Each structure stands twice: as C-alpha cells, then as structure tokens.
C-alpha cells in the first residue's frame, strides 16, 4: 500500500500550533521588554540620555567693583570670553603655539614657553588661560578647529583703569578669577559673590542648542576704600623719585587720618601694573607690600616713644638738662657715640638734634620695665589688623630677654623691628590726642541694590595723657625748626611736627651693621590740630644725603601738601609769614650752598655694638618661614675708619691730610692745631665732621 503524498492534516495543525506558540512567546518577550524599557526602566534611561545631552555649567557672578574714597573706580569687571587650553594634552606644543598665535595675534615663542612651563608645573593642573578677552570672531575660528585640548569659556575680565595706582593695596586676581593679593584677596568672599548655574542641552557633537538659567548668580559687593587717588598718585611719584635719586633699594609711605585711622595713601617702590599678566614661571617683581610685611629697625624715629614714656614716668620735662658726655658714653664696657659731641642738651634738644646718648640717658631714667610697657602700649610687636594679607607683627623682645646693654639700644630704635604701618600708628597717637587707633582701608561694602555696610572701628584706647601729647607735639615741632634735624623741610601754609630717623642696616651675611641706612621721616600737620600723619622710609641710602631728613623729608613735603589740600584743611600760617619764611630760606640757601648743617646729620642711630635678632626672632618679625639666616653674635668691634690725629699740624697740613683721608673738617682760629673733637682714633662715622681748634 502506497504512502500518501502529504502528511496527515492533524500533524500539520500540530506543527503550526507549535510555531504560533513560539512566535507568540517571542512577541510576548518583545512586548514585555518594551514595557520594561519604556515604563519600568524609563527613568533610568532618561537619566542616561540627559547625562549625554544635558550639562550644568557654572555661571560666574559679577565681581564687585573697588572704588576710592571719592567714588573713582579702581577695579571693575566686564563680561569676557576666555581661551583656555590643557597643556598636558598637547603633544606638539610648538605647533599648537604657532596655531594659536596666528589666530590670537600672540608671540608664538613666548606662548610655547608658557605651554611647556605649564605642562611641567604642578600648580596649573591642566588649566592655562591663553587669552582672557578674545573676540567672538576669533573664538568662532578656534571652535571650528575642533581641538580637544582647547575650550572657550564665558566669564568676566578684571581690569584696573589706573594701571599701577595703589597696586599694593588693591592687589589682583589670578588666572581662575580669584583674589591673589591685596584687598582682592583679603575680601575675596565679599567681592566674588555667589556663582549661578546654567542648564545646557547639547547635540551629539557636544554643541549647545538650548540653555536655561537654573540658578541666577548673586553679584559681589562693591567696596569703597579710604584711599584718595590724588594723594596716592603724588605719593607714588614722590617715592619713586626719592628711591631713584638716592640710589636706594626700595621705599614705602603711609598717609592716614590720625583721628579715624583711614589710610589716605599706602605705596611702595618698586611697584607693578595691575593689568600686567605674569608668564608661567616668571618671578614677580615689585609685588611685595613692604609697608606692611617687611619690619626693620626704625632708628631715631623711635625716640618719640622713649620721650613719651619719660614725660609720664619720670620728672623729666622739656627743659631738663641731660648730660651727653661730649658725644661719648660707656655702658657695660660698650662705647656709644653720638654723631656730634654735645656736652649737655635739654630734653627738647635731645629730640630736636636726635642725640643718641641723650635718648639713652633718658631711657635709663624711664627704666626697662616702663619702656617695655609703653612700647607695647603703642602697638608694637602685634599686627594693626589692616585689611591686607601677610601683615608682619614686628619684633619686641620680652623683657626677660633684654640684655644689660639693651637700654643702650632700644631707646634709639635698635633691638626692635617695626613696619612702616606701625610707625604711622605711632604718629597717629601723638596727633589725635593720645589714642591708639587701628589703620584701615575699607569705608563700606554694598551689595547691588542693598544697603551699605559701613566700617565699624574698634573703640580707641588711651595711650598717653592729653598733657603729654601736647608736650610731644611741641617737641616734635622743634625738630622742624632751625637747629633741628628736619629744619630744611617745609609745607607751604602749614606748621608741622615730626621726627627723622636714620638706622644702619644689618648685614646678615657678615654679621655687622653697614653704612647703608633706613632713612625715615614721621610727621603730621597742622601742629596744633593734626589732620594727616605720614611716614616715609627710604631703604638702602648712603652718605649724609641718605639721612632721614634729606632722603625721606622731600617726599613728606610733597605728599603732606597734597593731602592737606585734598582734605580741605585750613592754613595755619598766614601768607605774609609764608613769604618771609621763603625769603629767609632762599637767603640761607645762598649763603650755605654746598654745606650741610651739622644738626641735619645728627639723627644717625649708630648701632655698631647692638645685638641683632636671632633667626627665630627674625622669622617672627617678618611673619614668614623663609627669613634671612643670622645668629645672635654681638658685634664687638668697630671696623670702620677712625679720626686722624691733627694736633700739632698747620692749617695747610690739616687740610692736606683731611683731603687725602676724605674727612670733613671745621677749623677755628690760626696757628697750629691745639685740639680736636672727636679725639684721634675715635670712630669716624659717615657724615661726621672733625672740629679742629688752632692757636699760636
């Protein structure tokens, strides 16, 4: 029996049923998977999609402006585009530099050096701003190149309309837009504001096509400083001229209102332009705020503290006579010299002629304990609290660490270190009636559309009695009169008072005091009701022309005249008297041309035998970890030139020997030299004169 050509119908139905079940199962799996993907797993995949298509960008908050006391802009921010590169992702830095330079108009060699230095630096972390303010056209050209190591970012550009003006006060911002120095750094939280957020949608090529602000940025506060731009400008110009003219290393000046502590000007030279960008690895020059961070031995300016303490702790009065020992004094085997041999001086003349021996005699009557107490009262050895970074506290040795000879050093401004800012604070105490006020730079801060928050000064603390203050003002005024060390200074239309200072600079390498000086002048005006106090210090001067009155005094004259005019302070010297003073000064100048009065060279605080600071003390004074290395060895010998023996010589013989030795002599009488002062073999200090008496 033959098989049928087709399988039975029942078997076909079974096969179709199995196939249908398979298809149904497969369809069910697909449906379930689709349900899972589109319903249950939808949030997860939505997040994944959004992570690829959406990104959150930080919106930089507009940085607050900085203004001077008259509302003039000192620092301002404006919207800008930055060209940022990651140097570590660039293989051929020479090619990259050439490419960027051709588009941005930069120096290809300098840019290549920056890229290489940034790639090797640990501080840049793959972030280098090539151009902080690129145009839209150039930005589009760079975007079209599709360089994976380059990015165009939106931000703001910080600019300083006055360039170098008040550079050490204002400071600057770094590459990432944060404060890097000065007020910009100290008030970073106030100026920077709060960043916002921007939700951005991008396509597969990461090109944005839609954006929305999710959190608006909060602009920073505007800040008004106490600085007067006009006074600051004159201060910087006068300071630069003095440093250059005296071939000095650097200089500092602080001008302030003694009653409020508002700083009208604070400047240093050398300085720098705030708009100038440093190249990677380039060492900054002139950026250290020396008036605040660099303490030094003040020299004779410090006699103001010594005499103030004497007026309150002893029976000494301005007319009390002090034995000055003809310019020589022995203290615990240490021989101390004055620049000029005074036998005796009144207390007032000790200050006016800046006698070192006179100041030491007065200091001995005050005593170590009282002197130390008044030094601390005046604020030395601690920071003033000004709104600037890295302020140094200076150095005041604890009383238990004073040496037996310290009383021969501290009263004339050695064995102590101070900053220019602290000396301005000292001057303010005498000028404001005896109160310690803290110097400050900020008048107010203000959020956009908000109320101003004014500066609230700490309550002033009385340091000196009112009668002491008036006595000190009159004695300091005597310094500026004929016979005083500042007699050549002149502020037209105003009386003024002050104190010169000339301190020898210590050579840490050779452990000796040198004949290079810190020349200072501290003064205020008008004398009776002072409105401005100024301290000027020129560091690294030499010779008689480098003494305090001669080197720092002219800067004081210029800045004080400007400050009094800007503050609208009424004149206290009538014009007729001013004309008489000018005429008399002109006549004296004509008669004494080429000569310098001995009184003007008397403020040299000779420190040939004082003990320098130890390394630890120096670090504490500077507030730094990299202070110069030194030791506490006492300088026990004077290694400079000595006075020749002129006795017995003729006038001609004295002149010949003096000329060959470079010694200035003043001769009296005729015949043979019978006596001289200082005596033969005595130390011959810079600027000193030898008086020779002749008789038949």
Q: What are phi and psi of 55, to 5 degrees?
A: -145, 155
Domains of the chain by start residue, with CATH: 28-81+152-221 (3.90.1310.10), 229-619 (3.40.710.10), 640-695 (3.30.10.20)
Please say if the pLDDT value at position 644 is more than 70: yes
- Which pLDDT score is estimated for 630? 31
**Rounded distance between C-alpha atoms, residue 557 and residue 203, angstroms:** 68
**Rounded distance between C-alpha atoms, residue 219 and residue 237, angstroms:** 35
Distances (CA, A) of 696 to 235, 632, 678: 55, 52, 21
Please say if the pLDDT value at position 249 is more than 90: yes
User: Could you give the percent of the chain with pLDDT greater than 90?
Assistant: 46
pLDDT digits (tens, 9 = 90+) for 551-592: 999 999 999 999 999 999 999 887 777 777 667 666 766 665
- Which pLDDT score is estimated for 615? 59
Please say if the pLDDT value at position 435 is more than 70: yes
| E strands present in 233-391 | 250-256, 263-269, 321-323, 328-331, 334-337, 344-346
**Rounded distance between C-alpha atoms, residue 524 and residue 376, angstroms:** 22
- Which pLDDT score is estimated for 430? 98
Please say if the pLDDT value at position 145 is more than 80: yes
**Rounded distance between C-alpha atoms, residue 601 and residue 595, angstroms:** 12
* Composition of the chain by helix, strand, coil, percent to 5: 35, 25, 40
The tokens for 535 are: 């301290």
Residue 5 pLDDT level (bands cut at 50, 70, 90): low
Three-class DSSP category at 476: helix
Least confident among 85-99, 340-354, 511-525, 654-668 = 654-668
- Which pLDDT score is estimated for 126? 61
Residue identified by tokens 């010299």 is 337
Vertex 261 angle, CA 260 and 264, to 5°: 105
Residue 687 pLDDT level (bands cut at 50, 70, 90): very low
What is the overall mean pLDDT for the chain? 83
653/692: higher pLDDT? 653
**Range 445-458 average pLDDT:** 87
- Which pLDDT score is estimated for 227? 98
Please say if the pLDDT value at position 637 is more than 50: no
**Range 72-97 average pLDDT:** 83
Q: What are phi and psi of 147, to 5 degrees?
A: -90, 125
Radius of gyration of the chain (CA): 37
What dihedral do alpha carbons 38, 40, 43, 49 form, nearest 10°? -40
- Which pLDDT score is estimated for 131? 76
Among 539, 482, 483, which Cα is nearest to 516's?
A: 539
327/637: higher pLDDT? 327
**Range 267-289 average pLDDT:** 80
Tell me how long the chain is. 696
**Rounded distance between C-alpha atoms, residue 574 and residue 579, angstroms:** 9
The tokens for 431 are: 């000028």
- Which pLDDT score is estimated for 297? 94
User: Could you give the percent of the chain with pLDDT greater than 70?
Assistant: 81
623/443: higher pLDDT? 443
**Rounded distance between C-alpha atoms, residue 414 and residue 391, angstroms:** 21
**Range 654-680 average pLDDT:** 71
Query: How many separate helices (H) and strands (E) can be counted in the chain?
Result: 21, 27
- Which pLDDT score is estimated for 475? 95
Q: Which helix (H) or strand (E) holds 538?
A: strand 532-542
- Which pLDDT score is estimated for 233? 98
**Rounded distance between C-alpha atoms, residue 293 and residue 390, angstroms:** 6
**Residue 262 DSSP one-character state:** B
**Range 445-471 average pLDDT:** 90
């Amino acid at each position: 029996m033959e098989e049928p050509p087709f399988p039975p119908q029942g078997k076909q139905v079974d096969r179709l049923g199995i196939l249908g079940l398979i298809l149904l199962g497969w369809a069910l799996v697909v449906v379930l998977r689709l349900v899972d993907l589109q319903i249950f797993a939808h949030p997860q995949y939505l997040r994944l999609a959004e992570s690829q298509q959406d990104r959150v960008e930080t919106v930089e908050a507009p940085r607050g402006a900085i203004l001077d006391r008259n509302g003039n802009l000192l620092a301002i921010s404006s919207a800008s585009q930055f060209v940022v590169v990651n140097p570590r992702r660039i293989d051929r830095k020479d090619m990259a530099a050439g490419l960027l330079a051709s588009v941005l108009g930069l120096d290809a060699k300098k840019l290549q050096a920056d890229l290489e230095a940034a790639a090797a630096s640990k501080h840049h972390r793959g972030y280098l701003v090539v151009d902080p303010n690129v145009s839209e056209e150039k930005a589009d050209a760079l975007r079209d190149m599709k360089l994976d190591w380059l990015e165009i970012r939106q931000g703001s550009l910080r600019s300083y309309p006055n360039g170098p003006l008040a550079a050490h006060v204002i400071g600057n911002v770094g590459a990432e837009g944060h404060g890097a120095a000065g007020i910009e750094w100290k008030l970073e939280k106030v100026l920077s504001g709060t960043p916002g957020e921007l939700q951005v949608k991008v396509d597969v090529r990461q090109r944005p096509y839609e954006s929305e602000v999710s959190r608006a940025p909060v602009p920073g506060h505007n800040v008004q400083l106490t600085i007067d731009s006009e006074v600051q400008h004159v201060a910087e110009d006068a300071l630069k001229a003095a440093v250059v003219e005296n071939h000095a290393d650097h200089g500092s000046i602080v001008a302030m209102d003694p009653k409020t502590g508002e700083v009208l000007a604070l400047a240093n030279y050398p300085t720098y332009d705030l708009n100038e960008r440093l190249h990677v690895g380039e060492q900054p020059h002139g950026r250290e705020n020396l008036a605040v961070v660099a303490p030094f031995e003040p020299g004779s300016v410090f006699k103001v503290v010594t005499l103030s303490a004497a007026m309150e702790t002893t029976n000494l009065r301005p007319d009390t006579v002090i034995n000055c020992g003809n310019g020589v004094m022995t203290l615990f085997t240490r021989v101390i010299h004055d620049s000029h041999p005074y036998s005796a001086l009144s207390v007032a003349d000790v200050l006016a002629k800046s006698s070192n021996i006179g100041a030491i005699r007065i200091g001995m009557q005050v005593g170590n304990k009282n002197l130390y107490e008044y030094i601390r009262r005046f604020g030395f050895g601690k920071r003033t609290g000004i709104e600037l970074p890295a302020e140094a506290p200076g150095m005041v040795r604890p009383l238990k660490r004073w040496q037996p000879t310290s009383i021969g050093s501290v009263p004339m401004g050695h064995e102590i270190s101070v900053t220019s800012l602290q000396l301005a604070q000292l001057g303010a105490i005498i000028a404001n009636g005896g109160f310690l006020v803290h110097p400050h730079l900020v008048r107010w801060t203000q959020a956009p559309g908000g109320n101003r928050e004014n500066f609230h000064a700490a309550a002033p603390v009385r340091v000196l009695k009112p009668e002491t203050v008036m006595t000190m003002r009159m004695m300091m005024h005597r310094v500026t009169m004929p016979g005083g060390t500042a007699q050549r200074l002149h502020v037209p239309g105003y009386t003024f008072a002050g104190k010169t200072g000339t301190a020898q600079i210590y050579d840490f390498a050779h452990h000796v005091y040198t004949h290079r000086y810190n020349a200072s002048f501290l003064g205020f005006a008008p004398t009776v009701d002072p409105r401005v106090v100024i301290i000027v210090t020129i560091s690294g001067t030499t010779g008689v022309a480098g003494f305090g009155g001669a080197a720092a005094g002219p800067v004081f004259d210029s800045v004080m005249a400007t400050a009094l005019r800007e503050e609208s302070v009424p004149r206290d010297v009538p014009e007729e008297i001013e004309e008489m003073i000018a005429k008399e000064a002109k006549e004296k100048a004509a008669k004494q041309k080429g000569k310098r009065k001995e009184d003007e060279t008397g403020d040299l605080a000779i420190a040939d035998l004082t003990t320098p600071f130890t390394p630890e003390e120096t670090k504490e004074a500077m507030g730094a970890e990299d202070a110069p290395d030194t030791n506490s060895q006492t300088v026990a010998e004077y290694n400079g030139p000595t006075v020749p023996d002129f006795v017995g010589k003729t006038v001609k013989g004295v002149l010949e020997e003096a000329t060959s030795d470079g010694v200035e002599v003043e001769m009296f009488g005729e015949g043979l030299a019978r006596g001289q002062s200082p005596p033969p073999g005595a130390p011959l200090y810079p600027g000193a004169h030898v008086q020779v008496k002749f008789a038949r």
